[in-house]
Amino acid sequence: MGNEEELNRIIDYSGRDYKHIGTRPVRPDGVDKVTGRANFGADFDMNGMLHGRMVRSPHAHAKIKSINVAKALKLEGVKAVVTGKDFPAIDPSDKIVGEVVVSFYDMSRNVIARDKVYYDGHAVAAVAATSPQIAERAAALIEVEYEVLKPVMNLAEAMKKNAPVLHKGMTTEGVEPAPKKSSNIAKRAQFALGDVEAGFKKAEVIVEGDYSTQTVHQGYIETHACVVSLAADGMATVWSSSQGQFMVRAMCAKLCGMDNSKIKAIPAEIGGGFGGKTVVYLEPVAMMLAKQSGKPVKMVMSRDEVMRATGPTSGGHARCKLGALNDGTLVAGELEMEYEAGAFPGSPVGLGCMTGFAPYNMTDILCTGWDVVVNRPKAAAYRAPGAPVAAFAVESAMDELALKLGMDPLQLRIKNAAIEGTQAPYGVKFGRIGNLENLRAAEEHPHMSVPLGPNQGRGIASGFWFNIGGTSSAEVMINEDGTVIVVTGNPDIGGSRASMALMAAEVLGVDVSRIKPLVADTESVAFSALTGGSRVTFATGKAVIEAAEDAVKDMKRRAAKMWDVELDQVEWENGCAVCIETDKHKPLSIADIAKKSDRTGGAISGKANINAQGAGPAFGTHICDVEIDPETGFVTVLRYTAIQDVGKAIHPSYVEGQMQGGAAQGIGWALNEEYVYSDEGQLLNTGFLDYRVPVCSDLPMINTVVVEVPNPGHPYGVRGVGEVPIVPPLAAVANAVSRAAGVRMGHLPISPPKLLASIDEAK
């Protein structure tokens, strides 16, 4: 089926009364997860398995002069040692070019360094031994000689004219004429609507501000882990925790020089990903160790390794200028941003440019983004990649504008809200969206009328994310007793098994307790793209709906056969085939039809392999109340309300959970989280004691308001949930603190010393 046909074949169920969609059954994987029976990445073991250990660079920037593995190999129990030289060469042009470039050449060098190390913790070698202790000792015996280079640790240093260059030969793309000199600036991205200069000429009020955020980690609880087994015939099996078993297979194949067909990737349960598990780190290394040793190899990262060597999201710097008329009408906006890409190019700065002004109806804007490499780990995706930093700048500037105009910040947003037909910053006109509905819900929410006390402030911010579709596959199998198995190819990060079961239940007309949703390995279901981008409930959900419809079609055929009537005399109602020709035939349930399936044509199943089109953009608006302690600078979050248009909440509890989780992570980004490096570039806060993510006692109850403006591109109106809720909190918190303190807090995190210094400076 072509992409257009996929879009046009939608059966619109939105007018119907749902029986299952919107209910809150217990999640199918719940018992396993609360009893400890669920198998996560590190839970899998094999007989004769070896334990792998990485050797990591203590330097942020250095040339590798030599690696001597002789002593490690002599240690009893050591079965394999690999370095970058053991991996196949990859052509630098081998890349997938999108908003975020995926370069297999860089990825291979990120997994294990070749001639240079680019950050503290960069892997340089790996060892496999019969016990974790021996592997640890062997790793310490590997001698690496470095020529230490000056590290470039932040945007300002990296963009200086004579800064040390990380990648010789890398020049700035997107600039005319093309520069010839090597630079740490990998790319310029630019988006424009109308004439920004003319727009600012019309402005009666202008605000301009400087904003910055720090590198933060996704903070998933489960560290990266895998087991790789390679049989004598070259067939490999990979068990690992990731956001996509097909991604693991493809990247292992590419980086290890294997065919996809020779790798079976089995998804473990996943203890958090948030975008950080959309790439591989350990799997290709374990594969090469297994190849060399002939034994299965298990590798598990420590928290220290996760923090030093896996993808954080970019720290960023932004300048935002807004122009408005005296009545609050926005007439122009300019946003210029620099994002850290980490050690290799590919920050999500372009996505920041595309999203920052999206909540507003603005005809004259210019957004410019610069992608900059620094000696930190390669940035990976993190919920709504690129959008939170841009929203922080724009939403802080909106708050400044409201103050300057003497206008209520919510009314300013309502006045300028993007609605259906508004042109997005990336050119496309929005279809049906729920941005204004969110703002109206905020206006009516009791949170807005709670009086504020001394040292307290209220912040409001909005945020946007595109949501995406993509390739998804599903199979719906009818068991002989009429129970149902739903097979998909997407790891369940946020309750997607429950959503898949509910959507299948709605089409089939059976109770969700009779449906078992499964996440299959790469040999048991057709290709599915990653779990990410808020795509699974939308795209894989569409595949499940189509597969269930396919199964219903088959069951109607079987019923027609059983009754000896024409197919067009059979309809599907409430989980049964009914004959409309005559009432002499009693309706046949799925169990009735399944029982006779041997006689009517064999097993019954339906399948769908689709590239889902019609993803619905989504917006959120958050309200945050804080109290500041002017003596210590400590910020207490008093109240928090997250409002979001989700299209349709398939399982409202998991939708609310996503909104609460995103808000909690955003609050951490705003108040606490940052990477602290030594002068030489070594990461100093590599554990959760020093890298402070919010815990329950730091937060109030996060109230949620689920707004449902159906997406016409999905049969049940689903938009997607997981990305949007991390976009508004940075500014919602900062705006609240700024109003409480009477000084603009434009630089995150708003730690107590930083807040105290700002208050003192303003006195």
Nearer to other proteins, 301 or 493 (CB): 493
Q: Where are the beta strands (DSSP E) in 101-183?
A: 102-103, 116-117, 123-129, 143-148
* Residue 9 near other proteins by CB under 8 A: no
Q: Where are the beta strands (DSSP E) in 537-594?
A: 570-573, 576-579, 588-589
Nearer to other proteins, 69 or 100 (CB): 100
Q: Which of 75, 156, 450, 468 binds other proteins (CB under 8 A)?
A: 468
* Residue 246 near other proteins by CB under 8 A: no
Nearer to other proteins, 549 or 723 (CB): 723
* Residue 469 near other proteins by CB under 8 A: yes
Q: How far apart are CA 649 and CA 510, in angstroms?
A: 19
* Residue 371 near other proteins by CB under 8 A: no
Which residue shows structure tokens 């290890």? 256
In 3-state terms, what secondary structure has residue 559?
A: helix
Size of the site for other proteins (CB under 8 A): 56
Q: Which of 15, 76, 97, 582 binds other proteins (CB under 8 A)?
A: 97
- Supply the minimum distance, in Å, between the C-beta of residue 221 and other proteins: 16
- Supply the minimum distance, in Å, between the C-beta of residue 371 and other proteins: 12
- Supply the minimum distance, in Å, between the C-beta of residue 205 and other proteins: 28
* Residue 99 near other proteins by CB under 8 A: yes
Helix (H) or strand (E) holding 542: helix 541-563
* Residue 152 near other proteins by CB under 8 A: no
Nearer to other proteins, 72 or 724 (CB): 724
* Residue 107 near other proteins by CB under 8 A: no
Q: Which of 10, 140, 159, 192 binds other proteins (CB under 8 A)?
A: 192
Nearer to other proteins, 438 or 658 (CB): 658
Binding-residue pattern over the window 588 to 627 for other proteins, x denoting contact by CB under 8 A:
-----------------------x-xxx------------
- Calculate the dihedral angle through the C-alpha atoms of 152, 158, 163, 164, rounding to the nearest 10 degrees: 40
Q: Which of 25, 58, 174, 272 binds other proteins (CB under 8 A)?
A: 174
For residue 67, what are the β-bridge partners? 144
Nearer to other proteins, 146 or 360 (CB): 360
Helix (H) or strand (E) holding 312: strand 312-313
- Supply the minimum distance, in Å, between the C-beta of residue 488 and other proteins: 17
- Supply the minimum distance, in Å, between the C-beta of residue 4 and other proteins: 5
Is 11 exposed, middle or buried, given 0-12, 13-18 or 19+ CB atoms closer than 10 A?
exposed
DSSP codes joined into one string, 383-452? SSTTHHHHHHHHHHHHHHHHHHHT--HHHHHHHTB--TTPBPTTSPBP-S--HHHHHHHHHHSGGGGSPP
Return the ∠ at Cα 583 (arms to 578 and 589), rounded to 5°: 30
* Residue 356 near other proteins by CB under 8 A: no
* Residue 3 near other proteins by CB under 8 A: yes
Cα separations (Å) of 355 from 349, 458, 462, 614, 729?
10, 24, 11, 18, 15
Nearer to other proteins, 87 or 357 (CB): 357
> 234 and 87 in contact (C-beta within 8 Å)?
no
Q: Which of 242, 473, 534, 751 binds other proteins (CB under 8 A)?
A: 534
- Supply the minimum distance, in Å, between the C-beta of residue 243 and other proteins: 9
**639 — phi, psi (to 5°)?**
-140, 150
Binding-residue pattern over the window 266 to 295 for other proteins, x denoting contact by CB under 8 A:
--------xxx-x-----------------
Q: How far apart are CA 545 and CA 507, in angstroms?
A: 7
Exposure string over 615-643, b if 16+ CB within 10 A, otherwise e: bbbbbbbbbbbbbbeeeebebebbbbbbb
Binding-residue pattern over the window 703 to 732 for other proteins, x denoting contact by CB under 8 A:
----------x--------xx---------
Q: How far apart are CA 23 and CA 26, in angstroms?
A: 10
- Supply the minimum distance, in Å, between the C-beta of residue 532 and other proteins: 5
- Supply the minimum distance, in Å, between the C-beta of residue 174 and other proteins: 4
For residue 462, what are the β-bridge partners? 621
Helices and strands (H, E) in the chain, number of each type:
21, 30
Question: Which residues, in sequence order, are CB contacts of 8 under 8 Å at separation 6+?
Answer: none
By CB under 8 A, what part of segment 387-446 binds other proteins?
A: 426-431
Nearer to other proteins, 57 or 528 (CB): 528
Q: How far apart are CA 202 and CA 191, in angstroms?
A: 21
Q: Which of 189, 337, 624, 649 binds other proteins (CB under 8 A)?
A: 189
Is 261 exposed, middle or buried, given 0-12, 13-18 or 19+ CB atoms closer than 10 A?
exposed
Q: Which of 47, 96, 454, 696 binds other proteins (CB under 8 A)?
A: 96
- Supply the minimum distance, in Å, between the C-beta of residue 515 and other proteins: 27
**Span from 144-152, 169-177, 200-208, 443-451 in contact with other proteins (CB under 8 A):** 169-177
Amino acid at 29: D
Which residues of the chain form contacts with other proteins (CB under 8 A)? Answer: 2-4, 7, 96-101, 173-174, 176, 188-192, 218, 274-276, 278, 348, 350-351, 354, 381-385, 426-431, 465-471, 532-535, 611, 613-615, 713, 722-723
